[in-house]
Structure 1
Amino acid sequence: MPHLQIIVVGAGLSGLSTAIACTISGHSVTVIESASELQEVGAGLQVTPNATRLLKKWDLPASFWATAAEPTFLAVHRYSDGKVLAMEKDFNTKIRDKYGASFLDFHRVDLQLALYQRALALGVKFELGQRVQSIDFDLPQVTTASGAKFSSDLIVAADGLWSQSRNCFLDVKDAPLPTGDLAYRVVLSLDDIEDPELREWVSNPSVHFWIGPGAHAVGYSVRAGKMYNIVLLVPDDPPEGVSRQSGSVEEMKVLFKDWDPILTRFLNIVQTVDKWKLMHRSELDSWINDKSTFVMVGDACHPMLPYLAQGANSALEDGAVLGHLLGKVKTRSQVPRALKLYEQLRKTRGEAVVRETFKQRESFHMPNGPDQEARDELFLSQLETGLTGEPFPSRWTCPQVQPWLYSYDAYEEAEKAWTSGSNAEVL
């Protein structure tokens, strides 16, 4: 098998996953990253079974797995009084039994560092401090702002929501679109929490949602129960052109002053907070170019609202599918087929997940009224008896959506696609 020279633009989760999977498949990978050092911005991250099985396959270090927090239950609360609307007990064991992989909560920095270390160990080369300026799709070649040129057989755009590679591909500056929501992101250390009840919440990992009119909150432990991550989703208010800014703790607390006292006790500990505008993009006709020298992964092509925690998980799936299919390539003439299969597999799923995230926002953010009351009645009707198998307002435990998300095995799907079409013509 010829070793392809692959350039990955971006060293976030999608770029590192792609680099690892392509290197395991026998190719030579160079990652170009605009940051001079890898310091992933962010907070907590929910890594669901469709992604934890990939991380296991990639043999990430034991030190990384030691930082995991595995929630033992998942609860949905009414925003005003904390009343439990839905409860999935023994969540950890049920998930492992059902999907053969765990649902784990991590700090994003820990995951990125573990992927980076694994990529280095596999021989991936990194060019840090190199910002992409232009792409020659015929050669193909990337030129950076410093004037450096990087040539390869294939360029993978993994440079996120504000992707310059995407702009080059479309030959137009294509700005992300506001969703109308923003996120306050908070991480609290157990050392800073004195309240015994709150310490208990942090030390014994679980996932809690509080759902209310036009907003919701989610809280869960990270760093093996030593830190608590809270994300507050509210209507958007930063000025146009601002995607992230320091937030006002007082403003945040006012927004949630009439919410569950447990949540407000957590918020009373907060010293600083950032506000992130939640953005999305319209669907693209294609993620690959006509010459099969360029392909997109992750947020560059399918950014997701955080309402199902699938942005990072889908990015890992993208990398695994692309890497595995490129591992099947015996001659360069087969690259177009590998890329087309990747696009067929990932575009359909990625865009469907995006649509589900918007539906989850609608279910969680209902204004008080008849629809909200009907939703809560549906929640409560199955609180004691268990889920019936019908659609459920929380897609985190919905008998139809959860299996679709969590049972997905990226390597198995890629293998099936390649084998089933082994003699097929490239579309």
Structure 2
Amino acid sequence: MVVSEEARLRVIIVGAGLSGIATAISTAQSGHSVQVIEQAQQLAEVGAGLQITPNASKLLQYWKLPDSMWEAAAEPTKLTVHRYSGQVLAHDPTFNKSIRAKYDAPFVDLHRVDLQQALYARAKELGVTFHLGERIERIDFDTTTVHSVAGKQYSGDLIIAADGLWSKCREAFVGKKDEPLPTGDLAYRIVLTADQITDPELKSLVQNPECHFWIGPGAHAVGYSLRGGNMYNVVLLVPDNLPPGVSRQAGSVEEMRELFVGWDPILNKFLQYVDTTIDKWKLMHHGEMENWVNDKSNLVFIGDSCHPMLPYLAQGANSSLEDGAVLGMLLGHMTDKAQLPRILRLYESLRKSRGEAIVRETFKQRHDFHMEDGEEQQKRDEIFLSQLGKELKGAFPSRWTCPEVQPWLYGYDAIKEVEKAVSENPDLFSQPSQSGSFCKIL
């Protein structure tokens, strides 16, 4: 759907991360005028690998992202969970085929920069305007105006907060500093090139994409290929030992390796190839927000600005893409600007409960992956091993292949969700909204 000129909104998106650019694409496709404000001077985002699950990869297909992005992807053919000693606890030998068969979309691993640049190129094709190097100073909700530190003003009909964990929009919304909270974990993110790796066994793992997890007391690691098997991404999730108030700090390679002494030799061989400085990233979260839309219905939240997630299910980026898709497509069904408040509430009702439920599920996955050795861990491993080589049944400690959680995560179809919501709310979308008009909120 593309809106008429009368219903066309001037939309200001704060933040040009993945969620912001995805929302810009979806909103511009719906026919609205979109400007994106970003504090970074250029879009060369620091980052490493991303695991794009079918609930999001189908959106990347829908948005017609350039072929270069798909060529830069790696599709893991297998998924394996190891006990930290190296013992295999779970193994899906046909992971790529079963994912495509179940969800009609692939599970791919991408470098964050490759995805961001592809989204950026598509957004510009659709006429989205980007203002880089603009830091937000304040927001005037009476005039729907964003004021930058440099003294510029950006006014419109709607402000979309896509400015992440340290959201200035969230501070403006709640009227005070709203600092994220530590989760007790931190991450080391490592990217190795295939050229660096001389060990034949490791080189084969890099060049033949698979996904491997190693789970152990208080920590876990995940490794997967990027860029068609030319790079390898390793993420180490360990207890947070950064000082209070420090969110990122250069770390010691020796300290990092020390944390994994006694773990699988394969993992440790990968860590031996780390020969540069490595950063420690404190993993943070926020409490749940009561609302994602302000009283004036000219501010709405998406992504990490309203539901930041631990990376333990790889859904931070994926769910942010869902948010942007749903919001942009709903705005595409507007026939009158007076409908905006109800459309934003409908978006909130469609997305808030799912986003917050995924957040809770990530904490459960951390619990199941980080168990200390003992009785609870032994019971967990019994569940794993009792189903090794069999079709999985019931609740499973790894949600990546759990027959209950995986379909809920990967089977979500934002496009169909919007179509269903529109069909169930004919009074909202078929005529200008009036005070008191009926709208079925899901």
Q: Deviations over 1:34-53 (max 9, x none)?
A: 01111111100000000000
Q: How does 1:171-250 map to 2 (within 5 A)?
A: 171-250=175-254
C-alpha separation in 2, matches of 1:182 and 1:35: 24
Q: Deviations over 1:116-163 (max 9, x none)?
A: 000011100011111111001121000000010000000000000001
The alpha-carbon deviation at position 260 of structure 1 amounts to 0.2
Counterpart check, 1:144 vs 2:171? no
Counterpart check, 1:89 vs 2:93? yes
**SS at 2:427's partner residue?**
coil
1:295 is matched with: 300
C-alpha separation in 1, matches of 2:347 and 2:115: 24
Alignment check: 8 A CA contact 1:71 1:207 kept: yes
The alpha-carbon deviation at position 417 of structure 1 amounts to 1.2
- 2:415 equivalent among 408, 411, 418: 411
1:132 is matched with: 136
1:74 is matched with: 79
C-alpha separation in 2, matches of 1:287 and 1:401: 25
1:167 is matched with: 171
Amino acid at match of 1:112: Q
Alignment check: 8 A CA contact 1:283 1:302 kept: yes
C-alpha separation in 2, matches of 1:105 and 1:341: 32
Amino acid at match of 1:52: S
- 1:330 equivalent among 335, 343, 348: 335
C-alpha separation in 2, matches of 1:422 and 1:175: 40
- Runs of 5+ in structure 2 lacking a partner? 429-437
Amino acid at match of 1:168: A
Alignment check: 8 A CA contact 1:138 1:293 kept: no
C-alpha separation in 2, matches of 1:337 and 1:417: 12
1:344 is matched with: 349
The alpha-carbon deviation at position 280 of structure 1 amounts to 0.3
C-alpha separation in 2, matches of 1:247 and 1:224: 29
The alpha-carbon deviation at position 238 of structure 1 amounts to 0.6
C-alpha separation in 2, matches of 1:200 and 1:142: 51
Alignment check: 8 A CA contact 1:142 1:149 kept: yes
C-alpha separation in 1, matches of 2:263 and 2:399: 22
- 1:7 equivalent among 8, 12, 32: 12
Q: How does 1:228-307 map to 2 (within 5 A)?
A: 228-272=232-276, 273-307=278-312
The alpha-carbon deviation at position 359 of structure 1 amounts to 0.2
**How many pairs align?**
425
Amino acid at match of 1:133: E
The alpha-carbon deviation at position 423 of structure 1 amounts to 2.4
Alignment check: 8 A CA contact 2:8 2:337 kept: no
- Runs of 5+ in structure 1 lacking a partner? none
> Identity of paired residues, percent?
64
Alignment check: 8 A CA contact 1:132 1:164 kept: yes
Counterpart check, 1:55 vs 2:46? no
The alpha-carbon deviation at position 191 of structure 1 amounts to 0.6
C-alpha separation in 1, matches of 2:173 and 2:426: 29
Q: Please give the TM-score of this superposition, normalised by the length of structure 2.
A: 0.95
Q: Please give the TM-score of this superposition, normalised by the length of structure 1.
A: 0.99
Alignment check: 8 A CA contact 2:30 2:331 kept: yes
**SS at 1:423's partner residue?**
helix
1:379 is matched with: 384
Query: How much is the aligned-residue C-alpha RMSD, in angstroms?
Result: 0.8
C-alpha separation in 2, matches of 1:392 and 1:295: 36
The alpha-carbon deviation at position 349 of structure 1 amounts to 0.3
**SS at 1:302's partner residue?**
coil
1:29 is matched with: 34
C-alpha separation in 2, matches of 1:249 and 1:401: 35
The alpha-carbon deviation at position 385 of structure 1 amounts to 2.3
C-alpha separation in 2, matches of 1:74 and 1:107: 19
